[in-house]
Amino acid sequence: MAQSDSLHLFHLYLPGDRPSFFHDLAGDIQTPERIAHHELRAFYGRDPDPPEVAAFRKDLHDKISTAVRRECADTGFPVRFALSSAAFLVAFLVLSLLLRFTPLPFKLVAAVLTGIATYFSILRTKCGTESVKDRVDGLRGRLDAVIFRECGFIVAVEEFMDGLSTLSTDEMMSHALHGDTRLEADPELGPPLCRYIEQRRRSCIPERLYRKLLRAKRLSDRDWATLQSKCDDAYFPRELLALLLYFKLHHNYSDMTCSSKRIDSSSR
């Protein structure tokens, strides 16, 4: 399978030995198709602790279950809607005939609840079939078979961020913008890692500030204060933003030989 068809999982130690995983398996409806039809390749720099990997696998298992449920809910929606609408009409007619002197709002509420109950009953039955359970188990099995590989590029990325961790925010951004710290490009792993960091950045750093940084413009004191307040050490630290800027500006990541090491269930 071509490397361009691969999905990558990255384990990085952020400054302060904070483990973090980067990937494109967000639990949306496309996730099952991605896992089923793409090669999964996983890399790390410093050796991760087995409990960290076990927690990561559990999180991905939950995302798979969520994604398959969404996929199941998305398919057959017109039929479920038609059946629940029919249940609403039947319930309303029956209540109108049997309870003629009952207030209309009561009959409407009872009919609506009947339609809703019918919809979710059909959905629960559909999503609880053996075929759906087998699909979840099969996708989880593909994830459990992934081999994490020690990779020099990820080691260099971790060292790059460690070297920035003692700098102030403006000094750190200057290093990233002007390329004061050298980090070799990796045409295979650099683009996907950059893309995953970018996805996380969107939920933290305002687009206006990010575009200013990409244009290497000087930020105002107010902008610096806003930027520092948006950098969250637990989720998106400033070193990660500096790494993203460096990738974008010096390696044109718009979008190495690694030794294998399996992290299996026996080591957890």
Tens digits of per-residue pLDDT, 121-164?
888 887 777 778 888 888 888 888 888 889 999 999 999 999 88
**For the whole model, what pTM was predicted?**
0.74
Higher pLDDT, 200 or 74: 200
Task: List the structure tokens of 65.
Answer: 């279950």
Give the pLDDT confidence of 96-130 residue by residue, as tens digits.
888 777 787 888 888 899 989 998 888 888 777 77
Element (H, E) at 140: helix 130-144
**Strand 39-44 relative to strand 6-14: parallel, antiparallel, unpaired?**
parallel
Sign of CA dihedral 40, 46, 49, 55: negative
Mean pLDDT across 33-54: 86
Chain centroid to CA 240: 16
Gyration radius of the chain's alpha carbons: 25
Beta bridge partners of 149: 43, 260
Give the pLDDT confidence of 159-183 residue by residue, as tens digits.
999 988 888 888 888 888 888 778 8
Give the pLDDT confidence of 188-229 residue by residue, as tens digits.
899 999 999 998 898 889 898 888 888 877 788 888 888 888
Asked if pLDDT for residue 265 goes beyond 70, the answer is no
CA distance 78 to 55: 38
SS3 state of residue 149:
strand
Asked if pLDDT for residue 77 goes beyond 70, the answer is yes
CA distance 141 to 24: 18
Mean pLDDT across 4-25: 85
The predicted pLDDT at position 28 comes to 65
Mean pLDDT across 229-240: 87
Residue ranges covered by each domain of the chain: 1-148, 151-258
Mean pLDDT across 62-90: 84
Amino acid occupying residue 265 = S
The predicted pLDDT at position 212 comes to 87
Exposure b/e, 220-235, CB count within 10 A at least 16 = b: eeebbebbeebbeeee
Mean pLDDT in the chain? 83
SS3 state of residue 40:
strand
| Contact indicator for 151, 189 with CB cutoff of 8 Å | yes
CA distance 183 to 191: 14
Task: List the structure tokens of 114.
Answer: 């009947």
Asked if pLDDT for residue 256 goes beyond 50, the answer is no
Beta bridge partners of 11: 21, 44
Mean pLDDT across 48-62: 87
CA distance 63 to 27: 4
Q: What angle do CA 3, 202, 246 make, to 5 degrees?
A: 65
State the number of CA atoms in the 13 A half-sphere of 31 facing the CB: 26
| Contact indicator for 73, 81 with CB cutoff of 8 Å | no
